[in-house]
Amino acid sequence: MGHKPVGVAVVGAGYWGPNLIRNFLSSPDAELRWVCDLDAERAARVLGRRSEVRIATDLQEVLADPEVEAVAIATPSWTHLPLGLAALRAGKHVLMEKPLATSVEEGEQLVATAAEMGRVLMCDFTFCYTPVVRRLREMIATGELGDVLYIDTVRVNLGLVQDDIDVFWDLGPHDLSILDFILTDQYRPVEIAATGADPLGTGQTCVGYLSLTLASGAIAHVTLNWLSPTKIRQMVISGSKRMALWDDLKVGARLSLYDRGVEITPVVDRDEKRKRMVSYRTGDIVTPALPETEALSAVVSEFAHCIREGRTPLTDGVAGLRNLHILEAAGKSLQSGGVPVPLEVNHVR
Amino acid sequence: MGHKPVGVAVVGAGYWGPNLIRNFLSSPDAELRWVCDLDAERAARVLGRRSEVRIATDLQEVLADPEVEAVAIATPSWTHLPLGLAALRAGKHVLMEKPLATSVEEGEQLVATAAEMGRVLMCDFTFCYTPVVRRLREMIATGELGDVLYIDTVRVNLGLVQDDIDVFWDLGPHDLSILDFILTDQYRPVEIAATGADPLGTGQTCVGYLSLTLASGAIAHVTLNWLSPTKIRQMVISGSKRMALWDDLKVGARLSLYDRGVEITPVVDRDEKRKRMVSYRTGDIVTPALPETEALSAVVSEFAHCIREGRTPLTDGVAGLRNLHILEAAGKSLQSGGVPVPLEVNHVR
Amino acid sequence: MGHKPVGVAVVGAGYWGPNLIRNFLSSPDAELRWVCDLDAERAARVLGRRSEVRIATDLQEVLADPEVEAVAIATPSWTHLPLGLAALRAGKHVLMEKPLATSVEEGEQLVATAAEMGRVLMCDFTFCYTPVVRRLREMIATGELGDVLYIDTVRVNLGLVQDDIDVFWDLGPHDLSILDFILTDQYRPVEIAATGADPLGTGQTCVGYLSLTLASGAIAHVTLNWLSPTKIRQMVISGSKRMALWDDLKVGARLSLYDRGVEITPVVDRDEKRKRMVSYRTGDIVTPALPETEALSAVVSEFAHCIREGRTPLTDGVAGLRNLHILEAAGKSLQSGGVPVPLEVNHVR
Amino acid sequence: MGHKPVGVAVVGAGYWGPNLIRNFLSSPDAELRWVCDLDAERAARVLGRRSEVRIATDLQEVLADPEVEAVAIATPSWTHLPLGLAALRAGKHVLMEKPLATSVEEGEQLVATAAEMGRVLMCDFTFCYTPVVRRLREMIATGELGDVLYIDTVRVNLGLVQDDIDVFWDLGPHDLSILDFILTDQYRPVEIAATGADPLGTGQTCVGYLSLTLASGAIAHVTLNWLSPTKIRQMVISGSKRMALWDDLKVGARLSLYDRGVEITPVVDRDEKRKRMVSYRTGDIVTPALPETEALSAVVSEFAHCIREGRTPLTDGVAGLRNLHILEAAGKSLQSGGVPVPLEVNHVR
The answer to whether domain C128-292+340-347 has CATH 3.30.360.10 is yes
Residues of D in contact with B254 (CB under 8 A): none
Sequence-distant (≥ 6) Cβ neighbours of residue A33 within 8 angstroms: A7, A8, A9, A53, A54, A65, A67, A68
pLDDT at C164: 80
Helix (H) or strand (E) holding C276: strand C274-287
Chain-wide mean pLDDT for chain A?
Answer: 93
Helix (H, G, I), strand (E, B) or coil at A172: helix
- Report the candidate in B231, B222, B117, B145 with the shortest Cα–Cα distance to residue B180: B222
pLDDT at A202: 86
Chains meeting D at 3+ CB pairs closer than 8 A? A, B, C
- Report the candidate in D194, D177, D189 with the shortest Cα–Cα distance to residue D150: D189
Contact C238 D218 (CB under 8 A): no
Give helix then strand counts, H and E, for chain C. 9, 15
pLDDT at C272: 62
* pTM (predicted TM-score): 0.94
Do A121 and A112 contact (CB within 8 A), yes or no? no
- Is the Cα dihedral A95, A100, A101, A104 positive or negative? positive
Contact B227 A238 (CB under 8 A): yes
How far is Cα D129 from Cα D124, in angstroms, rounded to an integer?
Answer: 9
Please give the C-alpha separations between residue B214 and each of A103, A211, B192, B218, D22, in angstroms, as whole numbers. Answer: 31, 20, 9, 5, 50
- Report the candidate in D80, D86, D143, D126 with the shortest Cα–Cα distance to residue D106: D80
Least confident of A98-112, A147-161, A296-310, D267-281: D267-281
Among chain D residues, CA nearest to B258: D287
Contact D48 A25 (CB under 8 A): yes
> Is the pLDDT assigned to residue C264 strictly greater than 60?
yes
To the nearest whole Å, the CA of B47 is away from the closest chain A CA by 28
Distance of CA C138 to the CA centre of its chain: 17
How far is Cα A190 from Cα C65, in angstroms, rounded to an integer?
Answer: 76
**DSSP β-bridge partners for residue A203:** none
Chain-wide mean pLDDT for chain B?
Answer: 93
Q: Report strand pairing: A30-36 vs A54-56.
A: parallel
Among chain D residues, CA nearest to B283: D289
Helix (H, G, I), strand (E, B) or coil at A106: helix
Helix (H, G, I), strand (E, B) or coil at D207: strand
Sequence-distant (≥ 6) Cβ neighbours of residue C107 within 8 angstroms: C100, C101, C317, C320, C321, C324
Helix (H) or strand (E) holding C275: strand C274-287
- Provide the 10 A C-beta neighbour count for residue D5: 17
pLDDT in tens, C89-129: 999 999 999 999 999 999 999 999 999 999 999 999 999 99
- Provide the 10 A C-beta neighbour count for residue A279: 10
| Radius of gyration for chain B, computed over Cα atoms and rounded to the nearest angstrom | 22
- Regarding an ipTM greater than 0.90, the answer is yes
- Report the candidate in D228, D209, D194 with the shortest Cα–Cα distance to residue C149: D228
> A349: pLDDT confidence band, cut at 50, 70 and 90?
low
pLDDT at C1: 47
How far is Cα D91 from Cα D116, in angstroms, rounded to an integer?
Answer: 10
> Is the pLDDT assigned to residue A144 strictly greater than 50?
yes
CATH number among 3.30.360.10, 3.40.50.300, 3.40.50.2300, 3.20.20.80, domain D128-294+325-347: 3.30.360.10
Sequence-distant (≥ 6) Cβ neighbours of residue C136 within 8 angstroms: C182, C237, C244, C246, C255
Helix (H) or strand (E) holding A176: helix A167-182
Residues of A in contact with D50 (CB under 8 A): 25, 31-32, 51-53
Do C62 and C37 contact (CB within 8 A), yes or no? no
Q: What DSSP character marks residue B336?
A: T
- Provide the 10 A C-beta neighbour count for residue C106: 21
pLDDT at B1: 47
List, in sequence order, every beta strand (DSSP E) within chain B.
6-11, 30-36, 54-56, 70-73, 93-96, 121-123, 148-158, 189-197, 207-214, 219-225, 227-239, 243-247, 255-268, 274-287, 341-342
Mean pLDDT of A134-158: 96
How far is Cα C57 from Cα A126, in angstroms, rounded to an integer?
Answer: 72
Helix (H, G, I), strand (E, B) or coil at D21: helix
Angle between helices A80-89 and A104-117 (to 10 degrees): 10
How far is Cα B260 from Cα B244, in angstroms, rounded to an integer?
Answer: 10
- Is the Cα dihedral C156, C162, C167, C171 positive or negative? negative
> Is the pLDDT assigned to residue C160 strictly greater than 70?
yes
How far is Cα C26 from Cα C14, in angstroms, rounded to an integer?
Answer: 19
List, in sequence order, every beta strand (DSSP E) within A145-254.
148-158, 189-197, 207-214, 219-225, 227-239, 243-247
How far is Cα C203 from Cα D176, in angstroms, rounded to an integer?
Answer: 29
How far is Cα D100 from Cα D108, in angstroms, rounded to an integer?
Answer: 10
Do C285 and A290 contact (CB within 8 A), yes or no? no
- Burial pattern B9-32, b for ≥16 Cβ within 10 A else e, equals bbbbbeebbbbbbbbbbbbebbbb
How far is Cα A176 from Cα A183, in angstroms, rounded to an integer?
Answer: 11
- Report the candidate in A143, A167, A145 with the shortest Cα–Cα distance to residue A154: A167
The answer to whether domain A128-292+325-347 has CATH 3.30.360.10 is yes
A128-292+325-347 shares the fold of A6-125+295-316: no
How far is Cα D60 from Cα D64, in angstroms, rounded to an integer?
Answer: 6
Chains meeting A at 3+ CB pairs closer than 8 A? B, C, D
What is A131-167 written as a DSSP string?
HHHHHHHHHHHTTTT-SEEEEEEEEEEE----SS--H
Helix (H, G, I), strand (E, B) or coil at B203: coil
pLDDT at D267: 72
Mean pLDDT of B211-231: 95
pLDDT in tens, C331-340: 999 999 999 9
How far is Cα B301 from Cα B290, in angstroms, rounded to an integer?
Answer: 19
Q: Report strand pairing: A255-268 vs A243-247.
A: antiparallel
Sequence-distant (≥ 6) Cβ neighbours of residue B302 within 8 angstroms: B122, B129, B313, B314
Residues of D in contact with A51 (CB under 8 A): 50-52
- Report the candidate in C92, C131, C134, C138 with the shortest Cα–Cα distance to residue C114: C92
Instruction: Give me the architecture of the B6-126+295-310 domain, per CATH.
Output: 3-Layer(aba) Sandwich (3.40)
Instruction: Give me the architecture of the B128-293+325-347 domain, per CATH.
Output: 2-Layer Sandwich (3.30)
Domain boundaries, chain C: 6-125+295-316, 128-292+340-347
Chains meeting C at 3+ CB pairs closer than 8 A? A, B, D
> C239: pLDDT confidence band, cut at 50, 70 and 90?
very high
- Report the candidate in A62, A227, D61, D149 with the shortest Cα–Cα distance to residue C202: D149
- Provide the 10 A C-beta neighbour count for residue B149: 25
Residues in chain D: 349
pLDDT at C201: 87
pLDDT in tens, C43-52: 999 998 789 9
pLDDT at D345: 59
- Report the candidate in C181, C194, C74, C76 with the shortest Cα–Cα distance to residue C138: C181
To the nearest whole Å, the CA of B278 is away from the closest chain D CA by 20
List, in sequence order, every beta strand (DSSP E) within B16-123.
30-36, 54-56, 70-73, 93-96, 121-123
For chain D, the residues whose C-beta falls within 8 A of a C-beta of chain B are 253, 259, 282-289
How far is Cα A233 from Cα A254, in angstroms, rounded to an integer?
Answer: 10
pLDDT at A272: 62
Sequence-distant (≥ 6) Cβ neighbours of residue D340 within 8 angstroms: C337, C338, C339, D191, D192, D193, D211, D213, D333
Do B328 and B348 contact (CB within 8 A), yes or no? no
Do C286 and A286 contact (CB within 8 A), yes or no? yes
To the nearest whole Å, the CA of C39 is away from the closest chain D CA by 21
Mean pLDDT of C6-15: 96
pLDDT at A12: 98
Angle between helices A17-26 and A295-309 (to 10 degrees): 70
For chain A, the residues whose C-beta falls within 8 A of a C-beta of chain D are 25-26, 31-32, 45, 48-53, 231, 252
pLDDT at C6: 97
How far is Cα A286 from Cα D24, in angstroms, rounded to an integer?
Answer: 42
Contact D25 A49 (CB under 8 A): yes
pLDDT at C271: 62
> Is the pLDDT assigned to residue A54 strictly greater than 90?
yes
How far is Cα D276 from Cα A262, in angstroms, rounded to an integer?
Answer: 56
Residues of D in contact with B259 (CB under 8 A): 289
Sequence-distant (≥ 6) Cβ neighbours of residue A270 within 8 angstroms: none
CATH topology for the C6-125+295-316 domain? Rossmann fold (3.40.50)
Mean pLDDT of A206-210: 97
CATH node for D6-125+295-311? 3.40.50.720
Contact A289 C284 (CB under 8 A): yes
pLDDT tens per residue, chain D (349 residues)? Answer: 468 999 999 999 999 999 999 999 999 999 999 999 999 999 999 998 789 999 999 999 999 999 999 999 999 999 999 999 999 999 999 999 999 999 999 999 999 999 999 999 999 999 999 999 999 999 999 999 999 999 999 999 988 788 788 999 999 999 999 999 999 999 999 999 999 999 988 889 999 999 999 999 999 999 999 999 999 999 999 999 999 999 999 999 999 999 988 888 777 666 666 667 778 888 999 999 999 899 999 999 999 999 999 999 999 999 999 999 999 999 999 999 999 999 975 566 6
How far is Cα D229 from Cα C245, in angstroms, rounded to an integer?
Answer: 8
Q: What DSSP character marks residue A316?
A: B
